């Protein structure tokens, strides 16, 4: 709910980026846990940046937001 208010993106809408075959993922440097940043298109055609970690077999989304113009150019390669 906080992410929706802050970034205008619901985690439920962000989950579908993991099905994007063109999604780009990098490891995020974080001292407490392994985190990943994925840039991908969701089911609604929105290009999103999703930060997440793995908890067992489950993905725990930490943040999701619209991609910047620079990130969009990177995705479009």
Give the mean pLDDT of 56-75.
Answer: 97
pLDDT, one tens digit per residue, over 1-18 is 788 899 999 999 999 999
pLDDT band at 71 (very low <50, low <70, confident <90, very high): very high
Give residue-wise pLDDT tens across range 15-56: 999 999 999 999 998 899 999 999 999 999 999 999 999 999
- Compute the CA torsion angle 12, 66, 49, 76 (nearest 10 deg): 120
**CA distances in angstroms from 15 to 11, 31, 49, listed in the order given:** 6, 25, 11
Q: What's the CA gap between 30 and 36, in Å, rounded?
A: 9
Structure tokens that stand for 1 in this block: 């709910």
The pLDDT value given to residue 42: 98
């Amino acid at each position: 709910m906080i992410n929706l208010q802050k970034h205008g993106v619901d985690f439920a809408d962000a989950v579908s980026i993991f099905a994007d075959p063109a999604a780009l993922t990098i490891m995020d440097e974080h001292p407490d846990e392994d985190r990943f940043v994925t840039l991908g298109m969701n089911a609604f055609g929105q290009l999103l940046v999703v930060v997440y970690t793995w908890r067992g077999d489950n993905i725990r989304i930490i943040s999701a937001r619209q991609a910047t113009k620079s990130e969009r150019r990177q995705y479009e390669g």
